[in-house]
Structure 1
């Protein structure tokens, strides 16, 4: 059976951020911890080796695949900062129109730096994602 590699663990979020080589990206990671913590009310936790997550939910697909994931999170990667929000909600696309400079992948939103985005829209994306996932997976 498939085992999820990205699990919540007790590694130090601050120690992880200190390993980010680029000082500007490290500074942005600290800002993002504050923004996500304030917006969610959850403490930052490490998920796997490089994702900083906030809150958690348990999902189960019709295929039988199930697991746990953070409600929202981010990772200060070398190239860009990856932001993780719920993907199934159509409100996400609307909010991203006013987000600022970003690109999107299948599940991630990528930014170069916090200065490129509208922090109020980031907070709205966080709130929207938490609400959508809490409604979609209510048995938390």
Structure 2
């Protein structure tokens, strides 16, 4: 069975953010970092070269594959910011309807600019998703 490619690294979150060339995107990522630290009550850790993760949990899927992942996280992409909401919280659909301009995949919320979303709603989305990960995986290190 193959090993997961995305793992915690020793890379500095500050260096990752400082390397973002677009000053507006860098400022948004700094704001998002503060929001996610507050929502999860966790210190950020780089997962692979581009994901800032908060907490971690162990998983196993139907095929028997096991691994670890961050319980919440984000990545600054060129066109948008990807926010990883691993577990659907109890009021996720209602919160998404109030969030503002976004796209939601299975576990990835994409936004172009933080100014286009309600930050209080975003913080609640992250907080509820994080709490749901802890509920589903009580032995996690989140």
TM-score, L = length of structure 2:
0.92
SS in 1 for 2:99: coil
The whole-number CA distance in structure 1 between the counterparts of 2:37 and 2:58 is 20
The whole-number CA distance in structure 1 between the counterparts of 2:57 and 2:112 is 28
CA contact (8 A) 2:87 2:133 kept: no
The whole-number CA distance in structure 2 between the counterparts of 1:35 and 1:89 is 17
The equivalent of 1:84 in structure 2 is 84
Deviation at 1:93, TM superposition (A): 2.1
Deviation at 1:89, TM superposition (A): 4.4
The whole-number CA distance in structure 1 between the counterparts of 2:55 and 2:76 is 18
Classify 1:14/1:74 alpha carbon distance in 2 versus 1 (closer, same or farther; 3 Å): same
TM-score, L = length of structure 1:
0.93
Deviation at 1:92, TM superposition (A): 2.0
Instruction: Give the alignment's Cα RMSD to 1 decimal.
Output: 1.3
SS in 1 for 2:128: helix
* Number of aligned residues: 140
The equivalent of 1:99 in structure 2 is 99
The equivalent of 2:48 in structure 1 is 48
The whole-number CA distance in structure 2 between the counterparts of 1:88 and 1:121 is 14
Deviation at 1:90, TM superposition (A): 5.7
Deviation at 1:105, TM superposition (A): 2.4
Deviation at 1:88, TM superposition (A): 4.4
The whole-number CA distance in structure 2 between the counterparts of 1:87 and 1:136 is 9
The whole-number CA distance in structure 2 between the counterparts of 1:112 and 1:34 is 18
The whole-number CA distance in structure 1 between the counterparts of 2:81 and 2:14 is 16
Deviation at 1:62, TM superposition (A): 3.0
SS in 1 for 2:37: helix
- Structure 2: 5+ residue stretches without partners: none
